[in-house]
């Protein structure tokens, strides 16, 4: 049987432009997935009679030997072999002998890379989702601690109405919650195997794509081979999910930056926030939150980079598609770092109770509450708005409601009740509102979501674990 001599590059990768063509820098992380996909492919070839049982065994043990080298850092990567797929094939030839030449039966690097990327995506979503859950848990813990702490709420960055610290933290929680939902949906839609599509048009050999799909924990195999080798929707979706997550993270980062400034003063100065100035001895900068804010630029750039590569590509495989990996790796690395940094920040920041108390006692924050007190005693809202607006514009002590009490005597007792921030915010009991009672319900909803995520994590974890199982399984 003719095969490449051990160690020789197959002729298809020999070209003067090989350095430019190489994707090794970005596809090394796909190695484990490539190996697991190959185990599944070899087994399928055996089942349909294209390989003899001893050939399947030899390939499987060769692939596991490659995996061992990869795990122990002894795999001899060779840049002239263009990519992870050919590196594995050549090394397998060295370890297992000529039978390695049969592994590529009915398979192209085109369906192979698409498969590897989907396996990578599944594992990556599992990892990121776990980190996102931990960030949500941190937010929830802090929200529980600060359930009744009043803080000014802002619109247009102007003091607007009282809310609670818990309510602010939970607002960020629900954003991240939607990010998590998007990640689950992305992984679910991506769970279709492209293996068997070949280069673009399947094969004349009796392949069984459903079999490899099942072995690798996919819901089904591709519907159309041309689509299967060109579809990068899962990666584009992942990048969108991570870009929007980064935008959400940047907003939380911005809030921490503002709260840490002396102008707000809501956070205690602490090394948790970041480092100091090399020149100004008094400084403690909110670097971590700023960097979280800044990293969003990268993540959005990564999404735009991939969409730009995909735009206008003709069907099936084009080498442009190799450019899908760098933005994905960058966005995943960025999101991982941001998730961990935010988790530390959220867990480590301390609210300055005194400054918060002072800010929350700003009488302007209760202007709407005063107007609503008048409404409760029969004044039309528009008239109440005018009267209270005039009071706050009058220039006298805004906390002294005597003039309003005189104009609206029946509302007078209620006006007294809205003066203390804690009492006032406790009245904002609208479902989904900031009052501690309403927040208690929110916390319950949030805890239920976290419990549901634990189940999703373990079910995705089982699929992710199939890769390890295929590589660890004792030979049959
Ligand atoms: N390195 C390639 C990529 O990342 C693998 C597929 C190569 N296919 C090909 N026909 N040259 O997309």
On whether residue 473 sits in a domain, the answer given is no
What is the rounded distance in angstroms from the CA atom of residue 220 to the CA atom of residue 227?
15
- pLDDT at residue 2, rounded to an integer: 43
Q: Indicate whether 257 and 325 sit together in one domain.
A: yes
- pLDDT at residue 180, rounded to an integer: 98
- pLDDT at residue 276, rounded to an integer: 86
Residue indicated by tokens 């280069």: 199
Domain C-terminal end among 62, 81, 105 = 105
89 C-alpha to ligand 1 centroid (Å): 14
- pLDDT at residue 3, rounded to an integer: 44
Task: Name the active-site residue from 6, 79, 261, 277.
Answer: 277
Q: Indicate whether 384 and 304 sit together in one domain.
A: no
Per the structure, the complete domain to which residue 405 belongs is given by 363-426
Total count of domains within the chain: 3
Q: Give nearest CA residue, ligand 1 atom 12.
A: 322
Q: Indicate whether 447 and 398 sit together in one domain.
A: no
pLDDT in tens, 328-370: 999 999 999 999 999 999 999 999 999 999 999 999 999 999 9
pLDDT in tens, 81-106: 999 999 999 999 999 999 999 999 99
CATH number at residue 97: 1.10.275.10
Q: Which residues contact 414 (CB under 8 A, 6 or more apart)?
A: 373, 376, 377
Of 2 and 472, which is predicted with more confidence? 472
Residue 167: active-site member = no
Question: Candidates 30, 113, 199: which one to mutate for ligand 1, based on the most atoms within 8 Å of Cβ?
Answer: 113
What is the rounded distance in angstroms from the CA atom of residue 276 to the CA atom of residue 284?
4
Q: Indicate whether 454 and 422 sit together in one domain.
A: no
35 C-alpha to ligand 1 centroid (Å): 16
162 C-alpha to ligand 1 centroid (Å): 57
Residue 410: active-site member = no
On whether residue 6 sits in a domain, the answer given is no
Residue indicated by tokens 């060779």: 78
Q: Indicate whether 353 and 368 sit together in one domain.
A: no
Q: Indicate whether 65 and 133 sit together in one domain.
A: no
Q: Indicate whether 183 and 292 sit together in one domain.
A: yes
116 C-alpha to ligand 1 centroid (Å): 11
- pLDDT at residue 364, rounded to an integer: 94
Q: How confident is the model at residue 141 (pLDDT cuts 50, 70, 90)?
A: very high
Which atom of ligand 1 is closest in space to residue 321's alpha carbon?
Answer: 12
Question: Candidates 83, 85, 87, 324: which one to mutate for ligand 1, based on the most atoms within 8 Å of Cβ?
Answer: 83
What is the rounded distance in angstroms from the CA atom of residue 63 to the CA atom of residue 93?
10
Ligand 1 binding pocket (C-beta < 6 A) is: 23, 27, 83, 109-110, 113, 317, 319, 321-322
Of 226 and 9, which is predicted with more confidence? 226
- pLDDT at residue 415, rounded to an integer: 87
Q: How confident is the model at residue 414 (pLDDT cuts 50, 70, 90)?
A: confident
Q: What percent of the chain lies above the pLDDT cut of 90?
A: 88
Which atom of ligand 1 is closest in space to residue 21's alpha carbon?
Answer: 1
- pLDDT at residue 474, rounded to an integer: 63
Instruction: Tell me if the pTM is above 0.85.
Output: yes
- pLDDT at residue 6, rounded to an integer: 62
Q: What is the pLDDT of the chain when averaged over all its residues?
A: 95
């Amino acid at each position: 049987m003719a095969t490449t001599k051990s160690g020789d590059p197959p002729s298809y990768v020999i070209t003067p432009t090989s350095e430019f063509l190489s994707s090794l820098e970005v596809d090394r992380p796909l190695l484990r997935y490539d190996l697991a996909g190959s185990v599944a492919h070899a087994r399928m070839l055996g089942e349909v009679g294209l390989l003899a049982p001893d050939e399947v065994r030899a390939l499987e043990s060769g692939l596991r030997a490659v995996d061992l080298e990869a795990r122990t850092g002894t795999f001899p990567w060779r840049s002239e072999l263009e990519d992870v797929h050919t590196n594995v094939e050549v090394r397998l030839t060295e370890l297992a002998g000529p039978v390695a030449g049969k592994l590529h039966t009915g398979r192209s690097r085109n369906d192979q890379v698409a498969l590897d990327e989907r396996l990578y995506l599944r594992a990556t979503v599992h990892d990121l989702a776990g980190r996102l859950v931990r960030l949500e848990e941190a937010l929830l813990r802090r929200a529980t601690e600060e359930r009744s702490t009043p803080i000014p709420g802002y619109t247009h960055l102007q003091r607007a109405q009282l809310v609670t610290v818990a309510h602010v933290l939970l607002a960020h929680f629900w954003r991240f919650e939607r990010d998590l939902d998007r990640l689950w949906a992305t992984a679910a839609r991506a769970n279709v195997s492209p293996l068997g599509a070949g280069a673009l048009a399947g094969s004349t050999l009796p392949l069984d794509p459903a079999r490899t799909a099942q072995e690798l924990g996919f819901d089904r195999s591709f519907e159309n081979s041309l689509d299967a080798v060109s579809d990068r929707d899962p990666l584009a979706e992942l990048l969108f999910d991570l870009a929007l997550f980064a935008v959400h993270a940047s907003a939380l980062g911005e809030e921490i930056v503002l709260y840490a400034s002396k102008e707000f003063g809501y956070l205690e100065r602490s090394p948790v926030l970041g480092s100091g100035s090399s020149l100004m001895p008094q400084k403690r900068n909110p670097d971590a939150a700023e960097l979280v804010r800044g990293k969003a630029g990268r993540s959005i750039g990564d999404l735009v980079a991939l969409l730009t590569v995909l735009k206008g590509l003709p069907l099936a495989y084009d080498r442009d598609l190799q450019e899908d990996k760098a933005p994905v790796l960058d966005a995943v690395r960025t999101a991982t770092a941001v998730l961990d940094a935010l988790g530390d920040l959220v867990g480590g920041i301390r609210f300055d109770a005194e400054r918060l108390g002072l800010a929350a006692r700003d009488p302007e924050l209760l202007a709407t509450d005063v107007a609503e007190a008048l409404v409760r005693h029969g004044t039309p809202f528009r008239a109440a708005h005018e009267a209270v607006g005039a009071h706050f514009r009058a220039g006298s002590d805004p906390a002294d409601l005597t003039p309003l009490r005189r104009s609206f005597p029946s509302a007078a007792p209620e006006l007294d009740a809205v003066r203390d921030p804690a009492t006032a915010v406790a009245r904002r009991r609208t479902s989904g509102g900031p009052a501690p009672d309403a927040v208690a319900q929110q916390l319950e909803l949030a805890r239920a979501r976290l419990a549901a995520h634990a189940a999703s994590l373990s079910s995705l974890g089982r699929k992710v674990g199939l890769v390890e199982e295929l590589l660890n399984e004792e030979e049959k």
